Amino acid sequence: MKARRLIIPLLALALLALAAPAAPVSAAPSFIDDAGQEIVVSGPYRRIVSLYPAHTDNLVDLGAGHLLVAAGPSPTPSAPDLPLVSYRDDPERVMALNPDLVLLRPMVAQVHPQFVARLRQFGVTVACLQPGGAAELYQYWRRLGLLAGRQAEAEALCARFEADLAALSARVAHIPEAQRPRVFFESIHRQFKTFAPDALAIFALTAAGGINAAADAQGLRDSAIAEYGHERVLALAEKVDVYLAQVGTMNRVTVEEIAATPGFQALKAVRAGRVHLIDEPLVSRPTPRLIEGARRIQALLYPDLPPAPEARP
C-alpha cells in the first residue's frame, strides 16, 4: 500500500512534465539581403568567397581576412595573396574551393542568375549585399559582421567611423553654408555624369564641408551615377568653385583633359585652377576608407585649414 502511495505522485509528476510546454528553441538570426533573399545565419561562415573588392576590404577590416578563400573579380591591396575568381567563371571553379558562403552585389545576381543558381544548387549560401547609400552603411557592416562571426568588431568599426566623421565635420562647423565651396563632382567625364544626391561620393563631399552644385541631379535606377550633360554643366558656370572627378576604372581622366573640354573654361573652377582628382575606391566603395576620401576632399576645399588627422585604422 505504501509503495502504491509513492507511485501515484510520481506518475502525476511525469504527466505534468509531458504536458509542460517545451523550452523555446532560439531561431537562428536571419536577414533579407539586397536581392530579396532570406539569409539564415546558423553560425559564422568559415570559407568565404568575396566577389566585390569592398566586401573583401571590409572583412579584412573586421579581422575576418583568414576566412576568405578567394576574392575577385579584380585584386585588392587588402588581400593580395588570395586566388582570384569571377562570376564570369564556370561555377565549378568556385565550387572547387569548397566555399560555404559567396558574397556578391545585387546587380551581379541580376546579370548572372545562372551562376548564382548553380552555387545554390550545390548548397552554397549566396548573399547579395550593397548599401543603397550612406544611410545603409552601418547595417551593411553589421551584416558582414554577423556572417563572419565578428559582430563586436562590426560595432567597433561603426563607432570608430562615426567618431571620425564627427571630428572631420567639426573642423568646418564654424563656416556658414553660404561661404562653403560649391563643387561639381564628376563620375564619368566622357558622358558628363555626376553622382546621385544619396551616393557615397556626395556623402564624402558633404562630410568634408562642400556643397553639391549638382544637387538637382537624378540618379539612374539602382545606381549611384546620375545623368547631367554638357550643357547643364556649362550652365553652372560661376556656381562651381571646385571641380572634382573620381579617377579609376570607371573614369580614366586627367586634370588636363577636363580643363581642355570644349566650353569648360567658362567654369569658375577651371579658370581658377581648382580641378582635382580623387581615387575612385576612396569615394565610391562602402568601406571605412570613405573617411580618408572625405579627408582628402576637405584638404582640397579648405587649403588654409591645418592638416586633418589621418583616419584611424
| 283-294 pLDDT per residue, tens | 999 999 999 999
What is the pLDDT, as a whole number, of residue 2?
A: 44
Mean pLDDT of 269-291: 97
Query: Given phi > 0 = left and psi -120 to 50 = alpha, else beta, which region is 266?
Result: alpha
Q: What does the alpha-carbon distance between residue 70 and residue 77 come to, in Å, rounded to a whole number?
A: 14
Instruction: Write down the domain spans for the chain.
Output: 30-156, 177-301
| 184, three cell numbers | 561639381
Share of the chain above pLDDT 90, in %: 84
177-301 topology per CATH: Rossmann fold (3.40.50)
Which value, to the nearest 10 degrees, does the dihedral of the CA atoms of residues 203, 209, 214, 215 take? 60
> Which class in CATH covers the domain with range 30-156?
alpha beta
Residue 84 in this model has a pLDDT that exceeds 50:
yes
Count other C-beta atoms under 10 Å from residue 38's C-beta: 8
What is the pLDDT, as a whole number, of residue 4?
A: 45
What is the pLDDT, as a whole number, of residue 310?
A: 64
| 36, three cell numbers | 530579396
Q: What is the CA radius of gyration of the chain?
A: 26
Q: Do domains 30-156 and 177-301 have the same CATH topology?
A: yes
The DSSP annotation for 189-222 comes to TTTTBEE-TTSHHHHHHHHHT-EETTTT--BPTT
Q: Residue 165 in 3-state DSSP?
A: helix
pLDDT grade for 307, boundaries at 50, 70 and 90: confident
Mean pLDDT of 273-282: 97
Q: What does the alpha-carbon distance between residue 292 and residue 297 come to, in Å, rounded to a whole number?
A: 9
pTM, two decimals, is: 0.88
Phi (first) and psi of residue 141, to 5 degrees: -65, -35
